[in-house]
Amino acid sequence: MTSGVIAADRESGVRPVARPSRPTVLHVGGAHCVSVIAREQLLALRDLGWNIEVACAPSGWESRLEEDGFRIWPIRLPHRGSAGQAVLGGADLVRLIRGRDIALVHTHNAHHGIVGRAVARALRVPAVHTWRYNPLDAVGRPARQTFYGLLEAAAARAGAAVLFQNAEDMRFALRARIVPPGKAKLVHNGINVARYRTASQPQDTVRTAVGIPAEAPGPVVTCIARLDERKGHRTLLDAFARVRHTPAPVLLCVGSGPLQCDLETTASRLGIADRVIFTGERTDVPDILGVSDVVVLASRREGVPRVVMEAMAAGRPVVATNVVGTRSIVQDGLNGLLVPLGDPDSLATALATLLRDEQLRRRLALQASRDVATHWTHTAVAQRTSDIYEILLERNRRHPGSS
């Protein structure tokens, strides 16, 4: 898989890929993470002159980066890898880094970060890791939290820096002594704001494409999130069933995941199946936001939620849970509404308030649009990351193998 001189850019057509003037950085992570969540930052880093290559387990998502002209290297370490797959993936990374002129490794998902930083340290290559959210939150039992905390602490010491998206996660990692103080760097998160400013398709076309019936004239509430436990869809469905509004609103659940069948059953049980549409995965997020009146996120944890930034850029008001990561970007009553986690009554009240108050929707959306353009752009994150790369590479030139 090789990169070309011309790459297809999904937002602006075909554009020339800048020839790199800086060393090669190998990004290692799950295919969805590097190809969707980190994609805009990879493009921005390349625009800054870095030669960006990607190592991930093939899953189909990586085709987006191939179209952008990035070189993709397959490794045997999927999104949720076993211990055996960690060994195989680690061996693949050893061969890859030894066979390429890799100046720095940048890891993304938790277990990719553990394996990737260990390999990089063994090969005396500096490594950075992006902490997208507190990985210990994903672990249930205290004993497992301790085990994974020790692994994460060891990986942090093997690497050269840990990049955080929000200050709360960074404070936790420092307080728990998981990350040494000198290695913790706050870079925030960001998106290509311009991409979400304008929809590319007429609203009627989009409404038909996602399955909104022509006879459903009510407002559209949209949730864009993977259908798994941490995203809080059960609470959302419970809240949506309590919203009384005329004409009746439609709920778009955009995304896929293991809970889809269960959530469809829940919607039927609550008597709202005719007003809830599960669209599956969609790549036309700007168009979907264009038909949305309110965007909602009921998740249990985030780094800084991408969908919230996207909604703000599109000028759509947001209702979200008051959790780590989300509250770093949503200021309750100023640029969105925050509600307690797992509280369907509060979520229903906030949704109903926004649906009936157009002036409030406009005020929140306007401030949100200003805030995301000022503080949450992908180019700013890429520049902060690029500066860290430069510092680490200069340190490694002076003291090879240091971290």
pLDDT tens per residue, range 337-385: 999 999 999 999 999 999 999 999 999 999 999 999 999 999 999 999 9
Average pLDDT, the chain: 92
Question: Which residues share a beta bridge with 56?
Answer: 74
- Closest residue by Cα to residue 354 from 341, 342, 368: 368
Question: Which residues share a beta bridge with 102?
Answer: 24
CA angle 223, 78, 151 (to 5 degrees): 95
| Inter-residue contact 293 to 353 (CB < 8 Å) | no
Query: What span, in angstroms and rounded, lies between the C-alpha atoms of 167 and 186?
Result: 7
Does 388 have pLDDT greater than 50?
yes
Give the pLDDT score at 372: 97
Give the pLDDT score at 139: 63
How would DSSP label each residue in 6-21?
EEEETTTEEEEPPPP-
The CB-side HSE value for 358 (13 A sphere, CA atoms) comes to 1
Query: What span, in angstroms and rounded, lies between the C-alpha atoms of 354 and 101?
Result: 53
Q: What is the mean pLDDT of residues 164-184?
A: 96
- What are the distances in angstroms from CA 112 to CA 93, 121, 135, 228? 10, 14, 12, 21
What domains appear along the chain, each with residue ranges and CATH number? 6-190+378-398 (3.40.50.2000), 193-375 (3.40.50.2000)
Give the pLDDT score at 72: 97
Give the pLDDT score at 17: 57
pLDDT tens per residue, range 194-203: 999 999 999 9
Does 309 have pLDDT greater than 70?
yes
Does 288 have pLDDT greater than 70?
yes
- What are the distances in angstroms from CA 58 to CA 30, 62, 112, 113? 9, 7, 14, 18
Does 4 have pLDDT greater than 70?
no
- Closest residue by Cα to residue 153 from 133, 132, 136: 136
pLDDT tens per residue, range 21-80: 789 999 999 999 999 999 999 999 999 999 999 999 999 999 999 999 999 999 999 887
Helix or strand (DSSP H, E) at 201: none
Give the pLDDT score at 14: 40
pLDDT tens per residue, range 123-158: 999 999 999 878 777 666 777 788 888 999 999 999
Model pTM score: 0.89
pLDDT above 90: percentage of residues in the chain: 83
- What are the distances in angstroms from CA 252 to CA 59, 182, 194, 342? 26, 44, 23, 20
| Inter-residue contact 283 to 256 (CB < 8 Å) | no
Give the pLDDT score at 188: 95
Give the pLDDT score at 82: 85
